[in-house]
Copies of this chain bind each other. A is one copy, B any other.
Amino acid sequence: MSPKKEQLIKVATNLFSRHGFHPVGIDRILVEAGVARMTLYNHFPSKDDLISAVLERRYQDIMASLRASVEPTASAKEQLHAIFAWHEAWFGAPEFAGCLFERALAEFGTEYPKISTIAIQYKQTMTEWMRDILKTFLPEGAAARIASILVMLLDGATIDARAFHDPTVATRAWNAAEVLIEQANTRQA
């Protein structure tokens, strides 16, 4: 892919993450990326398409990073713990400014499918991934139920980490997750 296009996605991701989609104008992206106006419109038909590309890229990057942090040989519980630990590291990173997908959902709602689809897909992928891990030692129904809860915990933790500037919410979230998993495990055994 063109290095200019690459640069645009990278800079736009940064600015959108820090300030939101609406408040960041095209000009600001152009200046910070060192790219001409028409170069942007040659690669992306409109700002919305740039936003879509940013979210798409972000989705690929996050899933790759998450999957890389989870040892495939580890136990199911260790795999789930790794997912929560990944979030804690993320919350503590200096550039952390909340989840870009939440922001997209909050700013555009579900009215712009081109944008909200990716945000919802991310949530679904996470839910299914954790459900599959849980299914290795829990019945299908319990696995699906708890996976839904784990997603809620992670979503809530992401919000609270930003609102309170407190990365340790991830630890508390994992402690709760552990209790719920244990309880479901002993109850079915």
On A, residues with C-beta under 8 Å from B are: 18-20, 22-23, 97-98, 102-103, 105-111, 119-120, 123, 145, 148-149, 151-157, 159-160, 162-165, 169, 172-173, 175-176, 179-180, 183
Determine the chain B residues whose CB is within 8 A of the CB of A153 once the complex forms.
149, 152-153, 156
Name the residue of chain B whose CB is nearest to the CB of A187: B179
Q: Is the CB of B163 within 8 A of A149?
A: no
Q: Is the CB of A173 within 8 A of B160?
A: no
Residue in A18, A23, A145, A156 with the greatest tally of chain B CB atoms within 10 Å: A156
CA distance A155 to B163 in the complex (A): 11
Name the residue of chain B whose CB is nearest to the CB of A106: B106
Partner of A145, one of B149, B162, B172: B172
